Amino acid sequence: MQVVHTIAALRERLAGSRAPAFVATMGNLHDGHIALVHKAKLLGDVTVASVFVNRLQFLPHEDFDSYPRTLEADAAKLADAGCDLLFAPNERELYPQPQAFKVVPDPALADLLEGEFRPGFFTGVSTVVMKLFQCVQPRVALFGKKDYQQLMVIRRMVQQFAMPIEIVAHETLRAEDGLALSSRNAYLSPEQRQEAVQLSRALARMAQQLRGGAAVAAVEAEAMATLAQRGWQPDYMTVRSRNDLQPPGAGEPVVLLGAARLGSTRLIDNLEA
């Protein structure tokens, strides 16, 4: 696997490629990222991954400074997975001047759920993903369903800007007990790690209650209360339409989404039900 740090070197290496398949990451890679790379290998003629911790998507009080930067280990995992090319720019390369032009996603999709609790998050994500897409010019790009709203925002961006990129979703990878894999799981103490599975269990319980005919509002309230009683600080536990993340109309396919803080670690998860 070749590692490049500049846009010029990336473009030079990709000059002959007709169908790069791209996995964008912020590093600190786990098996969920590696599953994306394996899938990418089936879909393109060159598999490209990026590692870049994107300042624009962190709020001032969030973990930008402490976000684990593990480039050497990440590169080894990517090479093992058969990735062909790693693009690992530094901030000066990707943002040589303050990034004054930004991609502002539709507030109807981006200002709710994660966007409500992390204002500006999806502008930061959309801006860096747009820029990475301009650098790599992939034919296909892969994203995990764990970041469900992010996936929807990126799909919509690609569609609205008529970008010739196929967005492929990958199912969430889970630990044996059901906890969704996330780079931020590394922040959990051993006790918190044991407790963390309760987020996916709460979502599974919500799905069961809905199947049993319970009202949406009651299901949401009970999930919030259950997590709060266990010592979590839930931001939302909610039932939404898979089409637009709004409260679902009758018969619409739904996704259950949850975000909650355990100690100082904020976890998200979702379940299509």
The percent of the chain in helix, strand and coil, each rounded to the nearest 5, is: 40, 20, 35
Contacts of 231 (CB under 8 A, 6+ apart): 195, 262
From residue 261, give the alpha-carbon distance in Å to each of 2, 70, 126, 146, 235: 38, 24, 24, 16, 8
CA 164 to centroid of chain Cα atoms: 21
- Least Å distance, CB 212 to ligand PAF, is 34
88 near ligand PAF, judged by CB under 6 A: no
Binding ligand PAF (rule: CB under 6 A), the pick from 147, 220, 235, 269 is 147
146 is in an annotated binding site: yes
The radius of gyration of the chain's CA atoms, rounded to the nearest angstrom, is 19
Binding ligand PAF (rule: CB under 6 A), the pick from 10, 14, 26, 110 is 26
- Least Å distance, CB 121 to ligand PAF, is 9
Binding ligand PAF (rule: CB under 6 A), the pick from 17, 28, 47, 54 is 54
199 near ligand PAF, judged by CB under 6 A: no
33 is catalytic: yes
From residue 229, give the alpha-carbon distance in Å to each of 54, 83, 189, 233, 267: 34, 44, 19, 9, 17
Tell the residue number behind the tokens 């637009």, with chain if given. 244
In the bound state with ligand PAF, the residue whose beta carbon lies nearer, of 36 and 219, is 36
- Least Å distance, CB 153 to ligand PAF, is 10
128 near ligand PAF, judged by CB under 6 A: yes
In the bound state with ligand PAF, the residue whose beta carbon lies nearer, of 74 and 84, is 74
* Distance of alpha carbon 70 from alpha carbon 29, whole angstroms: 8
25 near ligand PAF, judged by CB under 6 A: yes
- Residues contributing to the annotated binding site: 26-33, 57, 144-147, 150, 173, 181-184
